[in-house]
Amino acid sequence: MIVRPRRSALFMPASNARAIEKARRLDCDVVILDLEDSIAPDLKEAARAQAVVAAAEGGFGRRELLVRINALDTPWGRDDCHAVADAGFDAVVLPKVSHPANLAAARALLGALPLWAMIETCAGMLDLSAIVGSARANGLECLLAGTNDLAKEMRSTPGPDRAPLLGHLAMIVTAARAAGLTALDGVCNVIEDGEVLAAECAQGARFGFDGKSLIHPAQVAAANRAYGPTAEMVAWADRIIAAFALPENAGKGVIRVDGAMVELLHLEQAQRIAALAGAIAGS
């Protein structure tokens, strides 16, 4: 089983050369150079050019390097696509995906470059099934919860517990799993690595997200802790895998481990935990 860690996906403004250079040394799994929300209109073209240069220079090591373009219905979206299509990015983050047609339009401009879709509109939530149903045709690999924009459009006030968004978060994870996609939780607006960030990361991990979108390097450690397997989880996984591998358990669907009944579904969970731990250790 091959699992790629995506515990921490850090957005960095593509207009900030120092931030890009710092990203090459951070312990995040994914770097997303941003051309959208964090870039003022008069800096869009310069940020685009700088992102392309950064991709060409490389130096990001084992980190996946992505770029978030502007939506195609903006003055910059199509030019963004033409610029980044062959620039060396691992994937493109497409904002405000509300219908499969948004993915298809980007796919036509980006060639074979994989897409990550931000689900941050009410229309996108209502059309989630169709969006993930088009994943294979459009090269969609990941859903990112755009919690700030979604809350704004809903006119909700999530608060620390994010209560108005919990159903939406569950649906994003469910849709991603149905299509075999990665699912990333939305950003936390509290930058400090403290109780609020830790609680939000833990909540997302319980919901089943693979990792979290981040807006500041100070958030990386908390995300990596929450979405990486603990030593106890790895030890449990090793025991489950070893038990099923015993000759006397060959072909069995249910066995007893540590005084509990364990099924093949637990073996699958254990194999994924072991694969993720191994990938993190080797990165």
pLDDT digits (tens, 9 = 90+) for 18-42: 999 999 999 999 999 999 999 999 9
pLDDT attached to residue 283 = 66
What is the average per-residue pLDDT within 131-155? 98
Specify the pTM.
Answer: 0.94
- Residue 122 pLDDT level (bands cut at 50, 70, 90): very high
Higher pLDDT: 192 or 158? It is: 158
Whether 193 shows a pLDDT value over 90: the answer reads no
Where does residue 26 fall: left (phi above 0), alpha (psi -120 to 50 degrees), or beta otherwise? Answer: beta
pLDDT attached to residue 282 = 82
What is the average per-residue pLDDT within 92-113? 97
Whether 2 shows a pLDDT value over 80: the answer reads no
Reduced to 3 states (helix: H, G, I; strand: E, B; else coil), residue 214 is: strand
What is the average per-residue pLDDT within 209-225? 97
Q: Which CATH architecture has domain 8-227?
A: Alpha-Beta Barrel (3.20)
Q: For 150-165, write each residue's pLDDT tens digit.
A: 999 999 999 999 999 9
Whether 88 shows a pLDDT value over 70: the answer reads yes
Residue 156 has phi, psi (to 5 degrees) of: -100, 165
- Domain borders along the chain are 8-227, 231-282
What is the average per-residue pLDDT within 196-212? 97
What is the average per-residue pLDDT within 85-105? 98
pLDDT attached to residue 246 = 94
What is the average per-residue pLDDT within 101-105? 98
- Rounded to whole angstroms, the Cα distance separating 106 from 108 reads 5
Reduced to 3 states (helix: H, G, I; strand: E, B; else coil), residue 162 is: coil
- Rounded to whole angstroms, the Cα distance separating 33 from 56 reads 13
pLDDT attached to residue 235 = 96
pLDDT attached to residue 269 = 95
- Rounded to whole angstroms, the Cα distance separating 159 from 80 reads 34
C-alpha distances out from residue 44 to 41, 50, 70, 130, 218, Å: 5, 10, 9, 31, 26
Higher pLDDT: 2 or 29? It is: 29
